[in-house]
Every structure is written in C-alpha cells, then in structure tokens.
C-alpha cells in the first residue's frame, strides 16, 4: 500500500505534557510517540480509554501544538501556531454540526469558507448528500435528524473538501451496533473510491481490524506511546459484519488482543484508584 516518497502524515517523537490543574504536577498524556501513515493507507489506533488517543489526533490536525516533536505532512513540517493542517479533514467524536444551519448548508460550509460560489457549492453538496444516502434531507436541521444521519452529514461535510488525509476520532462510537456496521461499510466504500490516507482512532479492536491496513496499539496513560504495530492483510473489499466471522480475522484479533489486554487492565485499575 505504501507509495514512494514521504508519508502522508508523520508524527515524529511527539510528547504532550499538560500543566497540572491548580498547580498540581504536570500530566504527560503522550510520550515520545512516533506514528506514520503512508499515502492511501488506512491506519487505526487502538488503546484503552483515556490514554491520549484524541490528543495524538489533535496534534496531527494542528489543533494542538505538541510539547516536543515534529509533525510532517507530505514531508512538510506542520506548525500548529501557523494554523491547522490544511490537507486534513477531521471527523469528531462529538456532534460538530452547526445546529443553526440546514443539512445542505452544513455540508457546503467548508466550500463556502474557501470562497466557492454558492451555486457551485450547492451542486457539489447535493451530490455528496446523495452519496451518503441523505438525498432529500438537505433542508432539515441537525436536530431533526437521527444520530446516524448526523454522522453521515458530518462525513459528507468532511469529504466534500476531498482532504488528502482523513482524521477520525471514534466517529461511530455513539451509534448503535447495526447503524455502526452500516456506516463502517459506507466509509470503506467511500474510501475505496479514492484511497485517502486515514488515521482512525477507536477503542474498539474489532472495528479497527475490520477497517484497517494497519493497527497500532497504544499503551495505557500517562505517557502513552505505541507498543505494537500489526499489519492487517485481510482481502478487500471487505464487509465489516461478515469479515468478523473469518478465521483470519479471529487469529488477528487474538494476537492483537494479547498485546492490548494488559494495557486495558492497567487503565482500568488506574481509573478505579482515581
């Protein structure tokens, strides 16, 4: 899957330390982590809850400046102070749609920010609504849509700008299991169409294996860092609900879970103490 040249996204030796609350000791969320995503590669990052996965993604997006380390986007350094990562689209875990805009106006928001004329933006917007299965729902406000529809809308809002890198932070974690598998299949289909680089954060190992080319396992916090890197050579195209039953999938699951289990228990113990 890797192509020649610089990786689409390279997080080099990233450390993120946050000042302690009320003069407490500083908290190191991420410690010396290196993570690379090749062009066209789908990489998932799994780890126990609260281990700093989102912090890592915010660094990649340029929303957060790391305490030390460098971020390179297609070989060029990203400096958070100079603005966000313009080549990346970000899909958030929480609802990030503008509640005061209709579906179509939310989808075309990025185009409008870039100064695309309204008529042209609307044309592309309608096209994307159709591609995510929301044709005819463009005049609805987000509060008039179900959770699954809002996620599709958010996906269209991000993909319409055709970003070279797609950052996703547990985008489907709030959905029920059935809707979630439908969305995962749709994501794979849309991704297969033009093969962007994807950095997908999740706490769900099954989701990670079913979607990705590569799964990176993070340690429990504080001082999160990658502790395992697994290549997933399951055939594509995949159907996420069917692939979960295959022996190859189960073998991979067993192998990665073996590396992850200890960290999950560690995180659980920490949360019980805290």
Partner 1 sequence: MRLRVLQFAVFAVLILLWHVFTTPGIIPPFYFDRDNAAAFFFGEPIKVFWTTIDWFTSGEIFVHLGVTLLETVLGFFIGAVSGLGIGLWLALSNTASAVMEPYIKGFNSMPRVVLAPIFAVWFGLGIWSKVALGVTLVFFVVFFNVYQGVREVSPTLLANARMLGASRWQLLRSIYLPSAMSWVFASLHNAVGLAFVGAVVGEYLGSSQGVGYLILQAEGTFDINTVFAGILVLTAFALLLDAIVGLIERGLMTWQPKTSETEKI
The footprint of partner 1 (CB under 8 A) covers 58, 61, 63, 84-86, 88-90, 92, 94-102, 109-110, 113-114, 141, 143-144, 157-158, 161
As a whole number of angstroms, the distance between CA 254 and CA 129 comes to 38
- Closer Cβ to partner 1, 143 or 254, answer by number: 143
As a whole number of angstroms, the distance between CA 226 and CA 271 comes to 20
- Closer Cβ to partner 1, 32 or 102, answer by number: 102
199 touches 8 (CB < 8 A): no
- Closer Cβ to partner 1, 101 or 253, answer by number: 101
CB of 7 to partner 1, least distance (A): 20
CB of 92 to partner 1, least distance (A): 5
Nearest to 264 by CA among 228, 214, 232, 211: 228
- Closer Cβ to partner 1, 163 or 223, answer by number: 163
Tokens 């592309």 belong to 124
CB of 195 to partner 1, least distance (A): 21
As a whole number of angstroms, the distance between CA 94 and CA 4 comes to 35
66, with CB counted inside 10 A (0-12, 13-18, 19+), is: buried
- Closer Cβ to partner 1, 60 or 240, answer by number: 60
Using DSSP bridges, classify how beta strands 165-169 and 197-202 pair: parallel, antiparallel or unpaired: parallel
CB of 159 to partner 1, least distance (A): 11
CB of 5 to partner 1, least distance (A): 25
């Amino acid at each position: 899957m890797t192509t020649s040249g610089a990786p689409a996204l390279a997080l080099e030796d990233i450390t993120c330390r946050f000042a302690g609350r009320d003069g407490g000791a500083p908290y190191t969320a991420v410690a010396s982590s290196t993570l690379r995503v090749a062009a066209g590669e789908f990489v998932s990052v799994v780890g126990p809850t609260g281990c700093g996965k989102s912090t890592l993604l915010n660094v990649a997006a340029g929303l957060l400046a790391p305490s030390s380390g460098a971020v390179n986007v297609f070989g060029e350094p990203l400096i958070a102070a100079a603005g966000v990562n313009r080549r990346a689209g970000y899909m958030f875990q929480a609802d990030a749609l503008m509640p005061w805009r209709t579906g179509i106006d939310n989808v075309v928001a990025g185009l409008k920010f870039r100064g695309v004329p309204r008529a042209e933006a609307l044309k592309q917007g309608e096209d994307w609504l159709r591609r995510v299965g929301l044709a005819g729902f463009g005049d609805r406000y987000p509060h008039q849509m179900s959770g699954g529809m809002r996620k599709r809308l958010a996906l269209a809002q991000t993909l319409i700008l055709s970003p070279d890198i797609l950052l996703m932070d547990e985008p489907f974690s709030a959905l029920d299991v059935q809707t979630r598998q439908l969305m995962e299949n749709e994501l794979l289909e849309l991704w297969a169409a033009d093969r962007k680089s994807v950095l997908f954060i999740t706490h769900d190992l099954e989701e990670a294996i079913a979607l990705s080319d590569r799964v990176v396992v993070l340690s429990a916090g504080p001082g999160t860092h990658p502790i395992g890197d697994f290549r997933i050579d399951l055939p594509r195209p995949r159907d996420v609900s069917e692939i979960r039953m295959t022996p190859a999938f189960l073998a991979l699951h067993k192998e990665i879970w073996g590396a992850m289990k200890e960290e999950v228990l560690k995180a659980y113990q920490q949360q019980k103490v805290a």
